Amino acid sequence: MQTSHHVSRLESENAKLHSESERLRQDVLSLQSELSRTAQQYEALFKEHQRSSDAVARLTKDKLRLQEQQKASSPESKQVIQCGIW
């Protein structure tokens, strides 16, 4: 009788542990999936940041170029050139 009670208790404990093991396995799979999604989002965000940074650099370069062109074509610079000062 003692042995069957002991076996029954061990089977019950085993069932609980198996259930907990399954729950933990599902949790791990869920976390792995979340990690994968987060990594993909980070990569997309990083690429977008890089494109934005490149666009800002390009626009800054264009702005400086246009400012230089504007300075070169302003009436003041034409007068300086005509006077022979420049």
Per-domain residue ranges for the chain?
2-83
pTM here? 0.59
Helices 2-73 and 75-83, packing angle to 10 deg: 50
**What would the pLDDT profile of 2-47 be if each residue is shown by its tens digit?**
899 999 999 999 999 999 999 999 999 999 999 999 999 999 999 9
Cα of first residue to Cα of last residue in the chain, in angstroms, is 113
